[in-house]
Amino acid sequence: MNKVIEQTFSVPFRYPVCFTTRLFDTQNPLLADVMRGEKIPKAFFVIDQGVSEAHPRLIGAIHRYAAAHQGAFVLAADPLVVPSGEQCKNDQASFQQVLDATNDYGIDRHSYIIAIGGGALLDMVGFAAAIAHRGIRHIRIPTTVLSQNDSGVGVKNGINAYGKKNYLGTFAPPSAVINDLTFLETLEDRDWRSGISEAIKVALIKDASFFQWIVANAKALAARDMAVMTDLVVRCAEMHMEHIAGKDPFETGSSRPLDFGHWAAHKLEHLTDYRVRHGEAVAIGIALDSTYSYLKGMLTAAELQQIIQVIRDLGFELYVPELSGEVLLQGLQEFREHLGGRLTIMLLEKIGLGVEVHAMDTELIQEAATRLKTFQMEGQNVSS
């Protein structure tokens, strides 16, 4: 007996990505409206410690907001504040705390877990929400440039394990994403800057005119011009969203264009014990793979020069010593393993046009790293 039944179906996903300001002003109906439904759902807030320190009145505001919108949702419990940044993805204590809370407070699949914080906190809470009861509704309120223009609007979550970034996680679209741009005002300079590298990344592989816009506005961005940053965040978020919706949202293939510059970045984050932030590592990874593209004869010297210059103008480092070790090259293998299948690396054919390759020349990678060291020193000479 041999019989085969083909099972086929499609699962539709839909979520709004909203841009607002003063989200917890009781006059702002946005968040309440997102949750409003037939029954009044419970909402459970998880907040990034860095955010709650920078916004000491946030928790009070949430309580007032909930009181003003009792017809739309009720708080399941007091907001939970957890350690911020990569720590909450590295050790599983916070992750476990969020899972425990779903059990302790009877948070069901029609309740909402609302995460407020940077990309790391969103990734961790998103993963917990995705697996408790096989998926509790989840709202993301990203508070960094990186999470507002990239990580927070996407479909991936995760935590680190076995010393590897995002080793455990799922693809799980949120119920809604709400970007409150006022959060960005309290970012440290390095976190303000950090997320800009994801905009450079997506511009370089897809949109030369956006890249030129970033070049023209680099000084204003570095000077923390909020209007310019708002434009950058919205445009970059849109490009990420279009890419995700376009094809293979759950990444079943080996191709991951939005990970341009990321094979080295992920390894650098780990090699520096997360001293280097994701966005900072991406800036270096972009510089590395752009230099490699130049050495391969794909980019012109002028194009490379422009890329290096904009990264510098924004205040990023171009080099860290970990870039020169042999161990960096393990990042290629780990990147391949994480995607699965064939090694697939995005390089630049020209500014605004990425091209995928399936092998990299390790000597040329090392040569590119050496060049970055030189660029870095030149930059310091220029500015000193």
Ligand X SMILES: NC(=O)c1ccc[n+]([C@@H]2O[C@H](COP(=O)([O-])OP(=O)(O)OC[C@H]3O[C@@H](n4cnc5c(N)ncnc54)[C@H](O)[C@@H]3O)[C@@H](O)[C@H]2O)c1
Within 241-260, the residues that bind a copy of itself by CB under 8 A are 241, 244-245, 249-251, 254
- Residue 120 binds to ligand X (criterion: CB under 6 A): yes
Q: Helix (H, G, I), strand (E, B), or coil: what is residue 357?
A: strand
14 contacts which partner out of ligand X, a copy of itself, none, CB within 5 to 8 A by kind? a copy of itself
Is 109 near a copy of itself (CB under 8 A)? yes
Distance, in Å, from the CA atom of 78 to the CA atom of 316, rounded to the nearest integer, reads 38
Q: Name the DSSP letter for residue 260.
A: T
DSSP 106: T
# of chain residues touching ligand X (CB under 6 A): 33
Q: What single-letter amino acid sits at 190?
A: R
* Rounded least distance, CB 364 to ligand X, Å: 27
**79 is a contact residue toward a copy of itself (CB under 8 A):** no
Secondary structure of residue 111 in the 3-state scheme: coil
Nearest alpha-carbon partner for 335 in 279, 260, 272 = 260
Of 319, 333, 334, whose CA–CA distance to 366 is shortest? 319
Tokens of 310: 């904009």
Collapsing DSSP states into helix, strand and coil, what is residue 142?
strand
Site map for a copy of itself, 181-220, x if CB under 8 A? x---------------------------------------
Map residue 167 onto helix, strand or coil. Answer: strand
d(CA 306, CA 319): 17
Q: What's the rounded Cα separation, in Å, for the pair 20 and 65?
A: 16
Nearer to a copy of itself, 146 or 176 (CB): 176
Contact letters (x/-) for a copy of itself, 144-163, by CB under 8 A? ---------x--x-x--xx-
Q: In the set 146, 288, 339, 347, which binds a copy of itself (CB under 8 A)?
A: 339
Give yes or no for residue 144 binding ligand X (CB under 6 A). yes
Both structure tokens of 363 = 């000597």
Q: Can you tell me which of 25, 68, 75, 171 binds a copy of itself, judged by CB under 8 A?
A: 171
Distance CA 43, CA 244 (A): 28
Shortest separation between residue 334's beta carbon and ligand X, angstroms? 14
Residue 249's binding partner out of ligand X, a copy of itself, none, with CB under 5 to 8 Å set by partner kind: a copy of itself
Closest distance to ligand X from the beta carbon of 154 (Å): 4
- Beta-carbon contacts of 56 under 8 Å, excluding residues fewer than 6 positions away, are none
Contact between 176 and ligand X per CB under 6 A: no
Q: Does 85 sit near ligand X (CB under 6 A)?
A: yes
Name the binder of 54 from a copy of itself, ligand X, none, CB < 5-8 A by kind. Answer: ligand X
C-alpha span between 85 and 184 (Å, rounded): 16
Report the partner that residue 85 touches, choosing among ligand X, a copy of itself, none (CB closer than 5 to 8 A by kind): ligand X
What phi and psi values does residue 122 have, to the nearest 5 degrees? Answer: -65, -40
Residue 304 burial by Cβ neighbours in a 10 Å radius (0-12, 13-18, 19+): buried
Cβ proximity to a copy of itself: between 110 and 190 the closer is: 110
Per-residue x/- mask for ligand X, residues 177 to 216, rule CB under 6 A?
------x--xx---x--xx---------------------
**Residue at token pair 């007996």:** 1
- Considering only residues 20-59, where is the footprint of a copy of itself by CB under 8 A? 20-21, 30, 38-39
Stretch that binds a copy of itself, among 204-212, 238-246, 265-273, 276-284 (CB under 8 A): 238-246
Among residues 151, 197, 217, 293, the one that binds ligand X under rule CB under 6 A:
151
Give the largest Cα separation in the chain, rounded: 79
Nearer to ligand X (CB atom), residue 149 or residue 217: 149
The SS3 call for residue 143 is coil
Ramachandran category for residue 190: left, alpha or beta (phi over 0 → left; psi -120 to 50 → alpha): alpha
Q: Is residue 111 a contact residue for a copy of itself (CB under 8 A)? A: yes
Nearer to a copy of itself, 183 or 292 (CB): 183
Give Cα 104 distance to the centre of its chain.
Answer: 30
Which residues of the chain form contacts with ligand X (CB under 6 A)? 48, 50-51, 54, 84-86, 89, 117-121, 123, 143-144, 146-147, 150-151, 154, 156-157, 165, 183, 186-187, 191, 194-195, 277-279
